[in-house]
Structure 1
Amino acid sequence: MQQKNSFYKKLAIIILVFFILGVLVKVSGGFFGESEKQITAKNTILQLELNGVILNGKRFIKNLEKYAEKDKVKAILVNINSPGGSVGPSQEIYTEIKRVRDELKKPVICVCTGIIASGAYYSAMGCDKLVVAPGALVGSIGVIMEFANIEKLYDWAKISRYSITSGKFKDSGAEYRSMREDERELFQTMINEVYGQFKTTVMTERKLKEEVVTEYADGRVFTGATAVKLGFADQEGFFKDAVKLAAETAKLGDDYEVFEVPKKRMSIFDLGGGDKEDDVNTLADYADVLKGKAFGNDIQGAVKFVLRSQYLNQPLLLMPGFWEQ
């Protein structure tokens, strides 16, 4: 009899546990993972965000591919607020936006009311139209590559650092010595090549003459109003103007809804280490340093922040300066 009662007690506990878990899943919608928001309107304008320094465009591209192909999505709106970033990811975002535009034949409108510079501007070249606020910062067409020479700091710390290499350019850009002239020429050639790719893309997508692009593609930043006058953007406006333009281009009239891709929410499976798939903004790595919290216990983080080591020794399509997110 006791064994029978014990069995029923265990069964009751199991049923209770599953009931509680069911309620939690129903209430939270994302206890065990992301509750996916569905597109319901037959005429939908997909809204994507491109914010911060572009060091990794995987999530943006993943969302673009995931939602753009849906039949209910009639147009795409990319809201940009970015100073640019790494060359490869910026070019990849441009290519994927262009692929949606050309292969799916769906209008893609980019809009910026803050800053759309360098790599972010490169990415926006894949859009059909670019809408900018009159006071937005636009352009910064160019390539920059930064290095840090801290050999005197090593001398002060009485540290002798050296390397053994397989070739004379293997340690080019090393922080423990000055750069040779042949190394400068090597890096300048690399920068010129990427710069040429940038200019060609702008000329092709904006339908501008080479002499016009060459004159203004010297790293300068325009206001949105000037960018429109010179042909580097299509029209002045704000977010709602861009939404209206997307609807007009897709011939939706007033029968549409704007669908904003939901941000990924934490689930219990993320508690161990979080999401390893960064979006374009990776300055979160230095959040504590930027807020003045890491200088005491995290000297390495402080040094990284001061030297900006994440951005060294690589060509960047980036408007200089840090952004705190």
Structure 2
Amino acid sequence: MPGVAPEAGSPAIAAPSVGAAAASARPAGWDSAIEQFARDYLKDRRTERRWRVFFRLSWLILFVIFTWALASARNHATLPSGPHTALIEVRGEIAADSEASAENLVSALKNAFEESEAKAVVLRINSPGGSPVQAGIVNDEIRRLKALHKKKVYAVVEEVCASGAYYIAVAADEIYTDKASIVGSVGVLMDGFGFTGTMQKLGVERRLMTAGENKGIGDPFSPMTDKQRAYTQAMLDQIHKQFIRVVKEGRGKRLKETPDTFSGLYWNGEEAVKLGLADKFGNLDYVAREVVKAEDVVDYTPKENVAERLAKRFGASIGAGAVRALQNIGGIH
């Protein structure tokens, strides 16, 4: 009744809680079912994670095995079986990241010189040149290996042997060429573009901040001062002198020097022989047969096949997957 309180000492009547009411409304075994579901879910997640890690590590292992097999196949693709002429190709631009890099060529040179059945080494050249640093490394290594192993080295020019390629060729004992080949170009260049006038016409302001007055030298959007131009030219002249010295040392008295010899000009093979830039006419087969007296030719040039290119292309993604797999070990993410 309204306004009537329970008598003293009589038990209080408590209203049932919402949680208790909800619990009483659940079907029997509901809590255990939820708990079992959670355990099963976590188990499935752990199993899924383990399989994901397993497959990623498997791909990584397969990639390593695949790469190792390719490297082994490349190193043993042309096993010498008797006296032969060792061939090394110098093709394309001479640069650190090209097939004609110093790393590749020096590795091939060492293998060729160390093989007892290789009677001589032939550099077959078809290159317009490239980095003087890379060419200089190869030139130095050829001269070192010749002195160490007492083997002859011959350069055979195909289409072009110019600039940095000729820098390499002069380390050979003799240079053979075709009458129409291009030989020479003993010079150094540094090229680029300047957009300062165009920027002024367009009303574009170049905001270049440096610490050091010459830090921005060569920037195409900034004018080059007379001092910077003179410094750059002096550096090129010094490299040119290094190139000239290497040519003179390599060719010796055979070189018939003229005012144009070191001007950066190039000549066909016929003129190159007359000027002493090359020695004789001949191709690879002629040199192997008539000069080296070992007609069998074994190619020591490192070759990158299609599989290796694919391995390099997908190697980064597979490696990233392996790193993620290793990071996942030890916890669910």
1:241 lines up with 2:286 in the alignment: yes
Q: 1:70-219 counterparts in 2 under 5 A?
A: 70-155=115-200, 159-208=204-253, 212=257, 214-219=259-264
Q: Deviations over 1:133-184 (max 9, x none)?
A: 0110000111111121023444566543232223222111111122111111
- In the alignment, which of 64, 70, 78 is matched to residue 33 of structure 1? 70
Q: 1:201 and 1:208 mapped to 2: Cα distance?
A: 13
Matched to 2:70, the amino acid is G
Q: Deviations over 1:265-292 (max 9, x none)?
A: 3257434148xxxxxxxxxxxxxxxxxx
1:113 deviates by 1.9
What SS class does the counterpart of residue 314 from structure 2 fall into? coil
Q: 1:224-239 counterparts in 2 under 5 A?
A: 224-239=269-284
CA contact (8 A) 2:146 2:152 kept: yes
The number of aligned residues is: 240
What SS class does the counterpart of residue 113 from structure 1 fall into? strand
- In the alignment, which of 249, 272, 277 is matched to residue 314 of structure 2? 272
What SS class does the counterpart of residue 239 from structure 2 fall into? helix
Pick closer, same or farther for the CA change 1:170–1:259 going to 2, 3 Å. same
What SS class does the counterpart of residue 103 from structure 1 fall into? helix
Matched to 1:130, the amino acid is I
1:42 lines up with 2:72 in the alignment: no
Q: 2:156 and 2:290 mapped to 1: Cα distance?
A: 10
Q: 1:102 and 1:54 mapped to 2: Cα distance?
A: 24
- In the alignment, which of 53, 65, 70 is matched to residue 93 of structure 2? 53
Pick closer, same or farther for the CA change 1:152–1:40 going to 2, 3 Å. same
Q: 2:68 and 2:275 mapped to 1: Cα distance?
A: 51
Pick closer, same or farther for the CA change 1:257–1:240 going to 2, 3 Å. closer
Unmatched runs of 5 consecutive residues or more in structure 1:
1-28, 275-325
Q: 1:43 and 1:196 mapped to 2: Cα distance?
A: 40
Which residue of structure 2 aligns with residue 258 of structure 1? Answer: 297
Q: Which runs of 4+ in 1 moved over 6 A?
A: none
Q: 1:12-27 counterparts in 2 under 5 A?
A: none
What SS class does the counterpart of residue 79 from structure 1 fall into? strand
1:229 deviates by 0.9
Identity of aligned residues (%): 26
What SS class does the counterpart of residue 48 from structure 1 fall into? strand
More helix by share: 2
Matched to 2:299, the amino acid is E
CA contact (8 A) 2:112 2:121 kept: no
Pick closer, same or farther for the CA change 1:100–1:246 going to 2, 3 Å. farther
Matched to 1:234, the amino acid is D
Q: 1:286-301 counterparts in 2 under 5 A?
A: none
Q: 2:313 and 2:226 mapped to 1: Cα distance?
A: 50
Pick closer, same or farther for the CA change 1:264–1:90 going to 2, 3 Å. same
Pick closer, same or farther for the CA change 1:213–1:65 going to 2, 3 Å. farther
Pick closer, same or farther for the CA change 1:164–1:224 going to 2, 3 Å. same
